[in-house]
Every structure is written in C-alpha cells, then in structure tokens.
Amino acid sequence: MLSGAAIGAVGAVTGLPAAAGAAAGRPLAYPFTLGVASGDPDHDGFVLWTRLAPQPLAEDGLGGMPDRDVPVHWELAADERFRHVVRRGVAVARTRSAHSVHVELAGLLPGREYFYRFRAERHVSPTGRTRTAPAPWTMPAALAMGFASCSQYEHGYFTAYRRLAETEPELILHLGDYQYEYAPDTYNVPGGNPRDHEGPETRTLANYRQRHAQYKTDADLQAAHAVAPWAVVFDDHEVENNWADEVPEAPDAEFLARRAAAFQAYYENMPLRRTSIPRGIDMQLYRRVRWGRLATFHMLDTRQYRDDQACGDGYRDCAAASDPARSITGAEQEAWLLDGFRRSDAQWDILGQQVFFAQRDNNSGPLTVTSMDSWDGYVASRDRITRGWMAAGVRNPVVLTGDVHAHWASDLKLDYADPTSRTVGTELVCSSITSTGDGADSPSGSHPWFAFNPHLRFQNNLRGYVRTTITPGQLTADFDVLPYVSRAGAPAYTRASFVIEDRVPGLHQTADNPLPSALRGAAPSVDPGQQTVDQETARP
C-alpha cells in the first residue's frame, strides 16, 4: 500500500544523489506542486511523469519556472522506502516542454510493483506507485482496474478521484474530458459553481498549460495519479466542446492552431510514451495496453479522425447518421482495431473509448432520435466494428465509455430494432467525477428511455467511477457513486454491481443498493420522468 505519508512527502531524503548545486540563476522554489504520475504500462516498463511548476497558476503557462533547462533526478525502487533501488537516472526538464519530464523505462521485471520519485535541485517529489503488466504469455489470476471521465474543476470537488485511489487499483483508465476549456462563470451548475477556473477560455498554449496545471494542483487528483499507472485518451473538452477532426463546434479560423496547442499541453501533462508526442495538429493516441493473456485494452481516439457530426449535432432522427461512408474512428484506426481483434489471444478484449456505443433512442414513437455526437451518429462505423469482433471470434468484447455524466450499463446488439436479437457484447459507462454537479439518485430501472431501449440495463445520475475486477472467468463491475461533490469529503458507495461471465456476453446484475438512509438526505432526488436529456448535452 502507498501510505498517505509517502503520497505527501516533500523535502530532503536519503538515497537520491546529492545535489551539485543550483544551475545558473536563482535556486528553485518547491517545484513539484503538480504531483507525479505513471502510465502506459507494458510487461517490462512504463512512463514516469512530473512537471516543475513552483507557481502553477502563472498566466504564461510556464509555472513560474526560470527560462532554463533543469536536470531532474529520478529513482525507481522495489520498496516504498527506497532501500532497494533498481534504476536511477537524470532527465532534463526543458523550457520548451513547460518543464515536463517523461521517463520511459524498459527492461524491468513483469508483473511487479515499483515506487518512484524525482529530485530537482534540493527538492524531492512525492512518491508514486506503479507496476509493470504481467508477461505476455501468462494468465494473471485477476486485475483490479478502475475507469473514470469528465472532471470539470468548477463543478465540484475531486473527492471521487481520492475514493478511487483508496481502492488501490492496479490500473486506471481515463476516458476523456480530463479538463475543461471554459472561462469562469460560463458553464454553471444550479446553485453556482463551488470553484472557479483560472484564466480565460483556453485557446493558446499558455492557456492550456495553465488550465492543466490548475487541475493537477488538486490533491485528490494527485492521489489517484500516484497510486497506479494510468492509460489516458482525450475527448472533446481537452480542446473544445464537440469538435470533430478539423471542424470546430462553431466557425473559427484559428481552430487548427488551438488544436495544436491543446495537443501539446495534453502531452506535456500526461504520462504518455514518446510515440504520442504531437506533430502539429496530429497526435498518435490510439494504442494497446496488454495485461498478459487476461486482457487487451484497445485505447481509441474518437475525435481526431471522425467525420463531422451529422444533421447539425444534438439529438436527431437523421438519415445521414447511417451513411456507410461516415466514420467515427477513421479508416486507418478502424483497420488497426479490426486487425487487433483478429490477432488477439486475450481472454477479454476491452475498448477504452469516449462516447456512448449502444443505441439510445430518446423517442417513444416511431422516430429514432439519438445523439449525433455518439456512435449513434456513426451507425455504419459501429456496425463494422461490432461485426469485426464477431468475425474474429473475440472471446469477451467489452466497451468502456465516459462522456455522458451518468452511470449506464448496456447489452450490445447488432440489431437494436429487434429486442429479441442476441447480445453480442457489453458496454459499461462511468459517470463523471464532477461534471454537471451533484446529480441525483433514482430507483434502478426508472429512467424513461428504458421502456423503448430494453438493451439498456442500468442508469444512475450521481457522480462517481467504475471499479472492475477482471478474472479469466468473469468481469465484475461496481458502479460507485458519491452523494454530493459540491463540497469536499463525500463518502463513496457501490450503487450497483454487475457480472459479465466468460463467453456469455451481456450483464447479470448481482447487487442493486439504494443509498442508505444516512446518505439519502445528502443526495438530491429526481423525478426520473425529467431525465429525458443527457447531462452531457446541456452545455453552453
């Protein structure tokens, strides 16, 4: 276990090489205000990350750092007290990269837990815990994996990140909307935002660097990064709302420059491998994380290559959404994914991606009214990928999703118009960490869309995350919720649990836990008849 003392430790410690003295210029003030992180684990390595920022909210986005490169010592150990150091070295935090550091390690032992820390001049970072994936030919007994999305700083406190960290997962997936682009007092929740963004709407590299830094100063987010390796993908708000490839939400002659700036800042602030270094407006984000023969995570990018949303976006009954020429992944990524299905020998093939995969019709009549920003706006693309995993004989296909600010769980079909057609996969959707504020509880099965979408199995509009335990025989999903995020310190509670059995696609509910009376008063209630629009659509 990574102790709280280790997570928060600063100051001098033994073990790291003695500082040779500050480089030219004034000594640094404490620079590790953004914490530490690790990511993209492989069987023999991972990425270690930090970024130096003595004044993290500086308007120029450079964190109060001097205009000079700074050597950063790093250390990797087999134990939390660093008595058994296995690797150490020096990386350079460069001005041109906002003094971020990415240490990409290989040659480590598979399936092992490690601890890491950094030193810049006389300052020592908090300690992080990470791990390598199991060897490719092995079948692990279990994997504890959590996934999350949608953390709007202004809409509440990031307590959900800390509660997730306290469960000590071995791997965390973040499925997009890690940060939001809005200026203060632009995207507001009822009753007012508990916190404010610094700076204007993010459009420049300085803006995005400052915004990422503000989010990273949150102690709860830092705790989640320090407890386990992450695999991250962006959605829309890391750039701007509902962008699609080179098409902004509204006409903007500067959009491509904005996109390039957002990508650069995203890389600088995430534990990504060098293969994801942006090249102008392009960034290689789709990739695979393999956990032995137990699971392969296909991390997708559904923003950078998609066709523009059909019929002007929003919820529409739209014939163009079924155009076979339209794609949400682009042809190259689609071919990569289908090839991965064919080559897979994993027990579980898991898609880590951003937007709702199953059909969700919000109309009880003859029209099919669905979200053009989700896979419903790219029906042929969804069909090709679903048929692809079926043709490849994928043993257990599971889609993980963020974006919609509510927990959902769905059986996946080839023909959603026929409720009796067989289930061919499963989708698990996590609620937001904070986005749209406290949310509300409601009885399971009460959402009005369930009546005409029988493949939808669960929905809850409280904030939270999903914990999974993956074994060769089953995947268990626990939908954890918080009764409020408008103030700090909320407890977490498992609202419902589902099991997916090996070779049996679809959901089996094992627990439905209404909030206990002690929490019920703290959680708003809602008339489910009013839940006719996704929270994610109710944005400026």
pLDDT single digits (tens) 75-122: 999 999 999 999 999 999 999 999 999 999 999 999 999 999 999 999
| Angstrom distances, CA of residue 21 to CA of 24, 202, 497 | 9, 37, 54
Give the per-residue pLDDT at 68.
96
Q: Please give the structure tokens belonging to residue 228.
A: 């386990």
Mean pLDDT, residues 165-194: 98
**Residue pair 349/298 in contact by the 8 Å Cβ criterion:** yes
Model confidence at 524, in pLDDT bands (50, 70, 90)?
Answer: low
User: How many Å is the Cα radius of gyration of the chain?
Assistant: 22
Model confidence at 44, in pLDDT bands (50, 70, 90)?
Answer: very high
Q: Which tens digit of pLDDT belongs to each residue from 445-475? A: 999 999 999 999 999 999 999 999 999 999 9
Q: Does the pLDDT at position 12 exceed 50?
A: no
- What is the bridge-based pairing of β-strands 171-174 and 143-148? parallel
Region of residue 176 (left: phi > 0; alpha: psi -120 to 50; beta: else): left
Q: Please give the structure tokens belonging to residue 55.
A: 């004044």
Q: Does the pLDDT at position 532 exceed 80?
A: no
Q: Which residue has the higher pLDDT, 6 or 433?
A: 433
| Angstrom distances, CA of residue 150 to CA of 2, 43, 161 | 26, 29, 11
Q: Which tens digit of pLDDT belongs to each residue from 251-273? A: 999 999 999 999 999 999 999 99
| Angstrom distances, CA of residue 54 to CA of 29, 64, 118, 363, 395 | 6, 6, 15, 52, 49
Model confidence at 19, in pLDDT bands (50, 70, 90)?
Answer: very low
Q: Which tens digit of pLDDT belongs to each residue from 220-254? A: 999 999 999 999 999 999 999 999 999 999 999 99
Q: How far is CA 435 from the centre of its chain?
A: 13
Cβ contacts of 19-26, under 8 Å, gap ≥ 24: 19/119, 19/121, 19/122, 22/121, 23/68, 23/69, 23/70, 23/71, 23/121, 24/68, 25/66, 25/68, 26/66
Model confidence at 525, in pLDDT bands (50, 70, 90)?
Answer: low
Give the per-residue pLDDT at 7.
37
Region of residue 154 (left: phi > 0; alpha: psi -120 to 50; beta: else): alpha
d(CA 253, CA 261): 14
219-227 and 159-166 helices, crossing angle to 10°: 30
| Pick from 232, 335, 345: nearest CA to 290 | 345
**Residue pair 244/184 in contact by the 8 Å Cβ criterion:** no
Which range (353-362, 434-443, 516-525) has the least confidence? 516-525
User: What is the pLDDT of the chain when averaged over all its residues?
Assistant: 93
Give the per-residue pLDDT at 16.
61
Give the per-residue pLDDT at 6.
41
Give the per-residue pLDDT at 24.
54
Model confidence at 515, in pLDDT bands (50, 70, 90)?
Answer: confident
Model confidence at 518, in pLDDT bands (50, 70, 90)?
Answer: confident
